[in-house]
Structure 1
Amino acid sequence: MRRLAHIVLMSWLYLAGAQAWSAMTEPFPELQAAQRAAWETVGILAHGMTGSDPRRFPGIHAWLKEYRSLGGSIGKPPQNAPLPKLDAERHVSRSPVFWRAYFEQAPGDAFTLLWHGALLLGGGEASRAAYVLLLARQARDTEKPILEAIDGLLDHSQLVVQRGAQRVAEAAKLHDEGNPAAAAARLRVLVEAWPANALAHYELALTAASRQYTDAGRKPPPRARLSIHTDLPPSAEVASAYARARAHDPLLIRAYQGNETPAGDVLLVLGKTVRPLWDIIARDTQAETRDETLWQLADALQDAGIVELSLTAGQALIGREGGYDHGDRKFIAENLKSLAPGAVAPVLKRLAQTPAQFIRFVLP
């Protein structure tokens, strides 16, 4: 009886600790600073975009209208002004409005790539923003103020990712110590502070996988073996957490299960092609990557279903080539069809115009 009472007491303390974690909120000053810097950049870029002719560049003005409706400032926003209410997935990655405006600008221009990365970072997507900004470094003939802005936001993005990873590592230690429920509670606090924390979502998947074993009356394997090495099919909860991790960091290979593409070879593509090519770009952000490497990366990203980054890598190279050919238009249409189908027709119409009508912005 005494042993039973002890178990009940320990269980109560365990649950109380988990509930205490879940009730906590935690500031993330690095994220807040990064988002404010991103929105300042977007505001300055938006100011430059207002000078475009709305009859020739209707997509840009449609985006400006939407941006204003979300609370965006034209020009540098006032200090401590509320941040725009932007959903990075809805208003950037999968937005026909965004992509129409994107492809009205000069191909592969660093201004456009900076604008893209800044919007993602403003929406809290620090990992994805860092990837876009790294690719923006591959644009040629970039003006010094644009380059400095790219580097500044890249530093912000990487600091957010680094700090987020440190916090997740602390939570994962609880799992390693045999307390996955406490780890899960802590991870939920981290997700509340930064919803786009891909590693936190990944670790939540592992805690849910561990609970699958416990619910089945089996001893869970060590945390390090709970990903693709588990011998239990992932539950809906586990699969959903992995999907969120991939959505926020599409290059987080360990969050893939291998069945995310029709060919079923996504792990092979990521491990054998995407990662080595990406490492070439990330190793030295000051160096210019060879054209062949950029195209290989763009194609491999497309094969892996990471189409937003595929488009970005392709744009950096198309910008070097100076314009779009038939193969480029086909590549763009295939990727946009996956991201924002409503943008395909107007974008292809724009790209096929003769003479080409694109606008190149400079910082005001």
Structure 2
Amino acid sequence: MRVDLLTREYPPYVYGGAGVHVQQLARQLRQLVDLRVQCFDGPRPAPHIMGHRAPTDLAGANGALQALGTDLAMAAAAAGADVVHSHTWYTNLAGHLAKLLYGIPHVVTAHSLEPLRPWKAEQLGAGYALSSFCERVALLGADRVIAVSDAMREDVLRCYPELDPDRVVVIHNGVDTDEFAPDPDTAELRRLGVRTDRPTVACVARLTLQKGLTHLLRAAPHLAPGTQLVLCVSAPDTPEIAGQFAAAVREARGLGADVVYVEEPLSRSAARQLLSYADVFACPSVYEPLGIVNLEAMACETPVVATAVGGIPEVVADGETGLLVPLGGDGEPAEPELFAKEFTLRINELLADPDRARRMGRAGRRRAAEHFSWAAIAGQVHDVYRSMRERPEVR
């Protein structure tokens, strides 16, 4: 069976959770099917990876329109596939067109939903209407929609009530517990300017409003004295958001917070060292279908303090592998100051009890290994492919 995975992100150009997901899933699926990966950002050296660029005639056009131009090339290259599997709105239309052109099943993995990310209009401008169109057409026409959490499945059916619930299945994201494991080395941390002589709270995220990073900065001046907050934040949605965040960092420092701001994307070794060294990993997201980075922290035996939104409670077992903080609002906390205070209290609670934090860290690694292995997840995805080949439902 030939399967074409359609994705915007693929190494070496990975900046978010969806890219990590596709990279790890592809590694496992290659053992099960004849896998081709179609991605953005131009050619790759491996023969099974086809990298595409937007047509030159669209240079300077809206970014969403450029993505649609790339989708056309992807759909053409999918000739001969038995199944196409698209990830994120950037490639959803390519999968839908391939389904129509070749009469093959289209699987969509829903990593997020455009109706629940209105702030993306700041990044895409009028292209947000195009991204929303691509997602809607693809999800309603898909033969299967894979939601990365139970909460995500509920969001899919709420945003797209026309969708047949029987076509929506849940297959969680995963983590490579060989790649992410406790690492005592600190060479990468010293290079990044992270001090290794004080309590540390770490946060690794894309610079987008959904990650709730300004709420964490609001909490930073109230962390236990002597604590450093390491923010590894890259890939801003817009230059304006980058500027606003830098100003918020300066403001937090002015109020006495010890903030280390790392703007470069982390290498795997640097991420592993930081997650292993940190006393607490903080995830203040206001929208998070699952949150792979929480799994990565847990695999490195670090307790997590996170917002109780989306699929996070399906990953972080409250009181066992970390602590959850209610958002107290829909999409944003109704009382931001109260939310920041509650987030600080939970972090300080673990900083004040290192033995409890270590127990949570060990429990987190066990949970990551037992419930979120990529091999098991790839097997579930393969079962979805086989079910459609055995009982075709292409419409």
TM-score over 0.5 for the alignment? Answer: no
* Structure with bigger RCO (C-alpha 8 Å, 6+ apart): 1
Higher strand share: 2
Q: Normalising to structure 1: TM-score of the pair?
A: 0.29
Higher helix share: 1
